[in-house]
Amino acid sequence: MSCHTECNSIGAFDLFLLNDGEKKITEKPFAGMSNTSDFIIMKEDHTVGNLLAEHFKQHPHVMMAGYKVAHPNVPELLIRLQTDGTATPREIFVEVCKQLVASLGQLAQNFTREYELRRMATAGEQDSNGPNGRP
């Protein structure tokens, strides 16, 4: 196999599974702006970037939040977060992530409950009909 093929090929799982010793999230304070940090999140893309950035923007102590993905084949997401100084970017990052996990957990419970209720209702309708689908 040529270097072109080997060097440019990405394994099926390389874009979302962490390698041994690889950290999921790294914080780097951004020297150009006060109360600002860049968070590098490995093996994530626009889905997580947009979700987090939009929720950061809703936080009352966030001055600015944005994200970028350098390239689709580089499994790295950069989020820049600036606060008003009443909380650190890391504190806001953790708080918003905890809120999102709780919110998505509630969504999963609601979805499962609704799914089960509809499944029982459908099963009840089928049981009330005869074997040929008639009452």
Q: For the segment 27-84, what is each residue's pLDDT rounded down to a tens digit?
A: 999 998 999 999 999 999 999 999 999 999 999 999 999 999 988 888 899 999 999 9
Displacement of CA 110 from its chain's centroid (Å): 19
Question: Looking at 12-21, 39-48, 89-98, 103-112, which range is the least confident one?
Answer: 12-21
What distance in Å separates the CA atoms of residue 12 and residue 49, rounded to the nearest whole number? 21
Query: Global pTM?
Result: 0.75
| Domains in the chain with CATH codes | 12-128 (3.30.1360.10)
Tell me: the pLDDT tens digits for 9-19?
A: 566 667 678 88
DSSP state of 130: -
Helix extents (H) in 59-132: 89-128
Retrieve residue 76's tokens.
Answer: 């790295």
Please check whether residue 79 is in contact with residue 39, taking contact to mean a CB–CB distance below 8 angstroms: yes
What distance in Å separates the CA atoms of residue 75 and residue 108, rounded to the nearest whole number? 27
Cross-strand bridge partners of residue 26: 40
